Structure 1
């Protein structure tokens, strides 16, 4: 009886332990596999040369370093990786992969003083687990100007010994370092004999103190040799470091081919010297810019060693006017005096080119009081002379055909929208200036969205680049809506708006394109309302084929960047929420509000009133997203100093990574990164330089190795 009872007890103990072991073994691989599953695609860590670099040697390879080892994606996509010059012309190159780096080796040397763009399509590269790049990545740089050696060579006089000595002794080699301080003697009488000359193979020690490092030029706009430069061009020269006026500052000059001086106003801002001509430059004229040695200094007092010069040529408006496919609006009766209604003359000029051509606007102010100028003809270019101003109080340009280009025009004092493109392809707006646009929207005369300076509706292949916008009072500055794809919005300057800067529409379309290298300042500065709708870059529809990269945003009412893209990377965002006065009640003051953006990486966010990066949603699935390598400083002062904030409630979320970010604050805080995820799975928060606070409501959050 005793033995049976003891046996039963041991059997029960054994069964219990086997059950526990079995449960542990069953649980362990599930947990480990969830943690180990790699869903993170490769993303760019750095490029050489860096994005926006100047003075790049023309023979250098191009290297793009990724976050992990990479492999080619589908062959067609991999072969779509491209290098193009400023005109969009392809550059031949050989590419190869070395571990985590893509190396691009141009077949020939690149051109001097030239801009080049590198584009890697989404999906072109993948990691060893098959995770492909989620969005297109592009960057560019400018090569160095040709090197001209202006330093004269030191003449070396050879000495002739008319009586050669017969050398019968092997040379003596001196292997001990010798400092030669002896002044060579001059022999007036040639010596005849068999003396063996001594050979000193050790160079003398150079005790000369190194000269201070000289100041250098890293690039200019326009670059050396540029053509078709607008007549109102402001010239800028970029230096290697911060500069100040030197003793030769007054001798900085611009001269035409005849040596005539151009009157300019010169100024310095950091490392940039700006030369602003008082009057327009001449048509089809070559100008030479000279920055003399000693004109500017660095902080150590060093200057340029020699004069720095470059030249450029302005646009040839004479050729345009004489081209049979080009017409001058004044030849159709336009006055350009700012008082006469030029609407019909401009429309007649456009209609006179049924197969396309160029419409030239000479210097003047053209008034279009209330008409809609229609461009229904393909292959049309509207171009100005550099000082061609168009005023459209209550009208606009309506473009509904393909291959239309608008450049070098100034649009000023237009109450409604200016350029409305609809169902058009291959359109370009470049080097235009827009000021004081959209007053009717601001005062409530119109309530729909037909008010931005540039409006793209259902367009494909649009390029909006290098334009300047100032004091825009409409609800958007650049707007894209309706089905359409492959647009590029790049290198524009937007300063002082009442509402949004760049707007990608509300419709449920997956937009494809890039928003790159734009500068946006004072967004919402003149808003008359509560500040709602004053985002610098707003994406109204989830667009996983859209990249938002390399933009500079400084001073907004609401968010810097908001919406769902494939990639938000390498942007600098400062002073979000800095515009705050009586009547502004919005509390949406985040650097980036990315929601379900697939990859948010390498952004720098400073001095945001609320979080630097924040996603708060109760309905949007933000699974399979990565926030990595971002630098957040002095953000969240109205939000418990939280730099990164993820709050998802009411919807399941899984496979989110927040890693390798740096969050700093001038105030004590234990909530640099804050998570509130009520139904999460595999939410990884790892290797951040920041305190992390995981709310008690959270499930599925794994936080490790955070400092």
Structure 2
């Protein structure tokens, strides 16, 4: 026994020098969908971090009953990778009301890098049913993956499903009298966030109302959010989430492209940020707010944003349901709702997008294609598709300083 322990110690020492993979099954994880593998995973994570190794999760279905904590050293580069065989991935699931993975670094500055791939995370959320849900309005939620105070994050080929709260939650909880510390680069690609939602109607004045998001970003500078599917299927969940993709406090220079987002009160939510974002080539549907910008001047930086070549539609919005929340506090609803109260995003561009109001398109409803109070907005080469071409123009609400050019209007009958 002592000889085996000595050999394992030597092996870990040399791997710590040269890197390598640490297999969770060598620490007792079963992956049989019955055994609680939480403790085995936590011991494996601790050893992998301590010895500067990668965490390897072979194919299996691992039950996790409590959140797994990854505490990175200063400057550490850590990799968590699963297996993939055809369309199947290593699965981490929980039957409890808990997140699965929480990754943190220094409490005083942003440091460390995480890379994650080929894993499916499954939560325990259930559909909203006849006015009842075990977590709605309880002022609590979970995040499948929560990452705090890191410098760089790379997430690729991940599936997250059935969590009440947030799928991926990135935030940098480092504040002082000086400018906050930031994630310096974030990349989330080829990932699916499915039936992740949450909503709180009771307390709408505090931080507790900021959940129900597929991907939540705060204090992130420089990010690529590409080729992801963020889909809350309201036919099954019976409830809209808050936001599919949230870009909030102090975020700057976020590129959002080639994503499919559907099934949230607002599918993209931008607030309290520093601007500089590009949102392009996305398909966004299932709500009459595709993109919601709520902007006041940021004390550190203010830059315009670009919204380019997106398909924006209220297709399949469940208007006939009682569970449609309205979290926009009376400022209205529009496919692009652009509320720029201090001209923080003056000179922004909305170009070559296609707007369709299909399910609530009539002269009496209050939903618009765009509702903007931003100065010097450039609104050009966009296509408006309506049931009747003559009913379109009054649904564009912009300031006189807006450069409004080359807008085309078409009847929806030609696009069946």
Instruction: Specify if TM > 0.5.
Output: yes
Show the counterpart of 2:247.
539
Q: Give the Cα–Cα distance (whole angstroms) in 2 for the partners of residues 606 and 342 of structure 1.
A: 43
1:559 and 1:500, CA in 2 relative to 1: closer, same or farther beyond 3 A?
same
Show the counterpart of 1:602.
309
1:517 and 1:565, CA in 2 relative to 1: closer, same or farther beyond 3 A?
farther
1:332 and 1:675, CA in 2 relative to 1: closer, same or farther beyond 3 A?
closer
Show the counterpart of 2:167.
477
2:93 to 412, 423, 427: 412
On the 8 A contact 1:490/1:515 being kept in 2, the answer is yes
Q: Give the Cα–Cα distance (whole angstroms) in 2 for the partners of residues 632 and 616 of structure 1.
A: 18
Tell me the C-alpha RMSD between the 2 structures.
Answer: 3.4
Quick check: 1:515 aligned with 2:225? Answer: yes
Show the counterpart of 2:406.
687
Match of 1:520, SS? Answer: strand
Q: Give the Cα–Cα distance (whole angstroms) in 2 for the partners of residues 640 and 351 of structure 1.
A: 57
Q: How does 1:263-278 map to 2 (within 5 A)?
A: none
* 1:104-150 Cα deviation digits (max 9, x unpaired): xxxxxxxxxxxxxxxxxxxxxxxxxxxxxxxxxxxxxxxxxxxxxxx
Show the counterpart of 1:391.
63
1:344 and 1:491, CA in 2 relative to 1: closer, same or farther beyond 3 A?
closer
Q: Give the Cα–Cα distance (whole angstroms) in 2 for the partners of residues 627 and 550 of structure 1.
A: 17
Match of 2:70, SS? Answer: strand
Deviation at 1:385, TM superposition (A): 2.3
Quick check: 1:422 aligned with 2:104? Answer: yes
Bigger relative CO (Cα 8 Å, ≥ 6 apart): 2
Q: Give the Cα–Cα distance (whole angstroms) in 2 for the partners of residues 336 and 670 of structure 1.
A: 56
Quick check: 1:659 aligned with 2:380? Answer: yes
Quick check: 1:674 aligned with 2:396? Answer: yes
* 1:550-574 Cα deviation digits (max 9, x unpaired): 11123x1411212155111111112
Q: Give the Cα–Cα distance (whole angstroms) in 2 for the partners of residues 514 and 458 of structure 1.
A: 18
Q: How does 1:155-170 map to 2 (within 5 A)?
A: none
Q: Give the Cα–Cα distance (whole angstroms) in 1 for the partners of residues 231 and 291 of structure 2.
A: 16
On the 8 A contact 1:644/1:672 being kept in 2, the answer is no
* 1:423-469 Cα deviation digits (max 9, x unpaired): 25221111110112568x963798456x2111111212211111112
On the 8 A contact 1:664/1:672 being kept in 2, the answer is no
Show the counterpart of 2:320.
none
On the 8 A contact 1:612/1:632 being kept in 2, the answer is yes
* 1:59-111 Cα deviation digits (max 9, x unpaired): xxxxxxxxxxxxxxxxxxxxxxxxxxxxxxxxxxxxxxxxxxxxxxxxxxxxx
Q: Give the Cα–Cα distance (whole angstroms) in 1 for the partners of residues 308 and 336 of structure 2.
A: 11
Q: How does 1:587-626 map to 2 (within 5 A)?
A: 589-595=288-294, 598-607=305-314, 611-619=334-342, 621-626=344-349
On the 8 A contact 1:392/1:415 being kept in 2, the answer is no
On the 8 A contact 1:595/1:620 being kept in 2, the answer is no
Taking structure 2 as the reference length, the TM-score comes to 0.66
Show the counterpart of 1:632.
355
Q: Give the Cα–Cα distance (whole angstroms) in 2 for the partners of residues 381 and 500 of structure 1.
A: 29
Deviation at 1:601, TM superposition (A): 0.7
Q: Give the Cα–Cα distance (whole angstroms) in 2 for the partners of residues 445 and 477 of structure 1.
A: 19
1:542 and 1:684, CA in 2 relative to 1: closer, same or farther beyond 3 A?
farther
Q: Give the Cα–Cα distance (whole angstroms) in 2 for the partners of residues 444 and 605 of structure 1.
A: 29
Quick check: 1:567 aligned with 2:259? Answer: no
On the 8 A contact 1:641/1:665 being kept in 2, the answer is no
1:542 and 1:687, CA in 2 relative to 1: closer, same or farther beyond 3 A?
farther
Q: Give the Cα–Cα distance (whole angstroms) in 1 for the partners of residues 377 and 137 of structure 2.
A: 46
Q: Give the Cα–Cα distance (whole angstroms) in 2 for the partners of residues 419 and 624 of structure 1.
A: 40
Taking structure 1 as the reference length, the TM-score comes to 0.41
Match of 1:415, SS? Answer: coil
1:624 and 1:434, CA in 2 relative to 1: closer, same or farther beyond 3 A?
same
Q: Give the Cα–Cα distance (whole angstroms) in 2 for the partners of residues 645 and 334 of structure 1.
A: 52
On the 8 A contact 2:292/2:336 being kept in 1, the answer is yes
Q: Give the Cα–Cα distance (whole angstroms) in 1 for the partners of residues 124 and 343 of structure 2.
A: 35
Give unpaired runs (5+ residues) of structure 1.
1-319, 357-374, 577-588, 692-707
1:553 to 258, 261, 272: 261
On the 8 A contact 1:456/1:480 being kept in 2, the answer is yes
On the 8 A contact 2:261/2:267 being kept in 1, the answer is yes
Quick check: 1:495 aligned with 2:220? Answer: no
1:378 and 1:669, CA in 2 relative to 1: closer, same or farther beyond 3 A?
farther
On the 8 A contact 2:23/2:57 being kept in 1, the answer is no
Deviation at 1:575, TM superposition (A): 2.3
Show the counterpart of 1:380.
53
Q: Give the Cα–Cα distance (whole angstroms) in 2 for the partners of residues 327 and 497 of structure 1.
A: 30
On the 8 A contact 1:417/1:437 being kept in 2, the answer is no
